[in-house]
Structure 1
C-alpha cells in the first residue's frame, strides 16, 4: 500500500560503508590521529577490492577537527597535519567520499556556530584541495545532548551541559540533496533516520537514496544499535528508496527500497561493507507515503480524538439525565407518601 505502484530500479551504484569502531567518548589528539589513520587504511583495503565504487561513506563525526576551519586558519599545527593527510588521501582517489565532521562557521572574530555535518568530497569536481566540500548540516538535533533550546532562559544549565566544550551544536535548516557520480542522495545523520516526515522531505526534494551516517558507540549496546537499524528500515519502505548506513561501531548495513536488510557487518569491530544499491528511476511513481505524508496516522488520531470527545459528551449528557431523573423521583416521593396516607 505505501509503495504501490512503483517502477523497477533502473540504475545500480557501488557503495562502500566504513565501520572504524571508534570510541566517541574520547576527545584527544592521539585519538583523532588514530581514527583518521584507521579510516584511511580501511578505505584503501575496501577500494582495492571494489575499484568500481562510486561512493565511500565514513560514519558520523568520523573526523572530529573541523576540516575547512583548520585548513583556512592554520592555528593548530597538529590538527592541520591531520587535515592535510586526510585531504591528500581524498585527492588521490577516483570516487566521492561522504564524511561525518564537525563544521565550524565563524559569525564574527569572537563567535562561531558548530554543526554536526556531512561533507561530500569528489576529486573529479576539484573540491578537495583547497577543501570546498558540499555539505549537509543536521537539522533535527537531540535536545539537551546536541542542542539546548532554552539557552537564554537557563544559561547556568546550558553551561553544565557543555561538559567542558565551548558550545553545543547549532541546528541546520537546508534539506540538502547531493548530486555526485550520477547519484542523488541525502544524508540523514544518526537518529534523523527515525523521523518519517524529515526523510520524506529529502525524497520530495529529489533524493533517490539515503546515506545514513551514525555513531552509536556511546551506548556500548548491541541491542541499541540493532534497534536503531530496525527503526531506520521503515524510511526505505515508506519512500521506496534504498539506504546505505555507515556507523562507527554498528550496525553498518545496506537496506533495499522495500525495507529489507540486504547485508550487515558484525558490531563493535573494524570492518567495511560494499554493495550495489539499486536506485529507482526519477520518473517512478512516488509512494503513497511520500505523496501524502502522515495523513493516515493523523486521520486515525483525529478520529480517535473525535470518538473520545463524543464518548465523553455522551457520558456527560447521560450523567445530567440521570441526575435530573433522580431529582424528579425524589420530588415525587413525598407526594406519593402523602397520597398513600389519605387513602
Structure 2
C-alpha cells in the first residue's frame, strides 16, 4: 500500500518507509509521535497524476525454450523459431500492431552473420525489438535490436551480469579454477540508445540492468516507454522471474512509466505506471500478450529531484535516528 512512495523517493525512499513503520510502532508505544515521523506518510494521500500522450499497440512474444538450465542456448535456433512461430500466431489474431517485443536471447546467434535468421527477421512486415548476440571486431555483445527490413538499430547492454556475462577479477578466478579460462567475456556497451517508433521513444533495459538506479533514471529522462527484456531460462522454475517482475513493478512506480517486460519463459507482463500488472503470462509456456500501452513524457517527482531524492531521504533518516536516540535517553 505504501509502494507509491517510490514515485517521490525512489527505491531508497521506499526502503526508508520500511524503517518508518518499525519506528512508528515504537513511538506509538512510547506515546512520543512527532511530525518528523508522520510527515512522509502524508505522501500516500497524494495522487499520482500521470497523463498519457498517445498509445502504442504492441505484441509481447514469449516463445519458451526446449529445456531449462545453462545449456538452453545449445539449441539457439530452436529458441529463435519458437519466437517466430509464436509471433506468427499472434499476428494472425492482432495484425494491426506498431511493433513486436521479443526477450533477451530470443536470437542467440548473430542475426547479421546468419542468413537464415536474417531472412526470417526481414520477412516480418512489423518492426521487432529483439534480444540477440552480436559479434563485431572480435567482441561479443548482448544486444537489443530495433529490427525492420529497412534498418537495424542496436543497443548493447551496458551493465553486464558478473559471472554470467563476464568473469570479475579474472586473474584471480583463473587461479581458483582453470575453467575460468574457457569462459569468454561479453563486452559492455557504452551508451544508451532510444528506439523511435512513431511517437514512441523507447529505451530497452536488458535483464540485470534493471537494478541499476542511474541507468533507469536516464531511461526515464529519455523515453516515454520502457521495455525490459530478460531471459529466465537459466533459472528454470525458480522464484527469480517473480522477483524480477516485482522489481520491475517498483521501477514503473518510481519513474512513472508504463513498462513492457518480456521473458523467454515467463513471467512476461504489461505493467502500468502505478505498478499494477495489467496482464501477464504463465511460466514455462509459449504465449503472447497484446497491449495498447500509453506513452508518458512527464517525469516523476523522484526523477525531477534526481540525486536529491536520495540525499533528502538520508537527511530524514539521520534526523529520525537522532530523535530516537534523544528519546532513549
Q: Structure 2 length normalisation: TM-score?
A: 0.77
Between the aligned partners of 1:228 and 1:28, the Cα distance in structure 2 is 21
Superposed displacement of residue 252, structure 1: 0.4
Task: Write the deviation string for residues 283-335 of structure 1: whole angstroms up to 9, x where unpaired.
Answer: xx3211111234333333356568879999xxxxxxxxxxxxxxxxxxxxxxx
Match of 2:159 in 1: 140
Q: Provide the aligned C-alpha RMSD in A.
A: 2.8
- Conserved 8 A contact 2:54-2:199: no
Matches within 5 A, 1:122-161: 122-123=148-149, 126-127=150-151, 133-151=152-170, 155-156=174-175, 160-161=179-180
1:59 is the counterpart of 2:103: yes
- SS of 2:140's equivalent in the other structure is strand
Between the aligned partners of 2:289 and 2:143, the Cα distance in structure 1 is 22
1:275 is the counterpart of 2:291: yes
- Pick from 3, 8, 14 the counterpart of residue 57 of structure 2: 14
1:25 is the counterpart of 2:70: yes
Superposed displacement of residue 276, structure 1: 0.8
Between the aligned partners of 1:93 and 1:304, the Cα distance in structure 2 is 53
Q: Structure 1 length normalisation: TM-score?
A: 0.74
Q: Which runs of 5+ in 2 are unaligned?
A: 9-46
1:178 is the counterpart of 2:223: no
Match of 2:205 in 1: 188
Match of 1:328 in 2: none
Between the aligned partners of 1:189 and 1:85, the Cα distance in structure 2 is 25
Structure 1 residues 104, 24: closer, same or farther in 2, change over 3 A? farther
- Conserved 8 A contact 1:55-1:96: yes
- Conserved 8 A contact 1:96-1:181: no
Match of 2:228 in 1: 212
Between the aligned partners of 1:258 and 1:223, the Cα distance in structure 2 is 23
Between the aligned partners of 2:175 and 2:97, the Cα distance in structure 1 is 49
- Pick from 139, 142, 145 the counterpart of residue 119 of structure 1: 145
Structure 1 residues 14, 56: closer, same or farther in 2, change over 3 A? same
- SS of 1:118's equivalent in the other structure is strand
- Conserved 8 A contact 1:116-1:138: yes
Between the aligned partners of 2:308 and 2:180, the Cα distance in structure 1 is 37
Higher-Rg member (1/2):
1
Structure 1 residues 208, 37: closer, same or farther in 2, change over 3 A? same
Between the aligned partners of 1:116 and 1:157, the Cα distance in structure 2 is 27
- SS of 2:204's equivalent in the other structure is coil
Q: Which runs of 5+ in 1 are unaligned?
A: 72-82, 107-111, 128-132, 313-343
Structure 1 residues 275, 260: closer, same or farther in 2, change over 3 A? same
- SS of 2:81's equivalent in the other structure is helix
Between the aligned partners of 1:63 and 1:9, the Cα distance in structure 2 is 32
Match of 1:42 in 2: 86
- SS of 1:188's equivalent in the other structure is strand
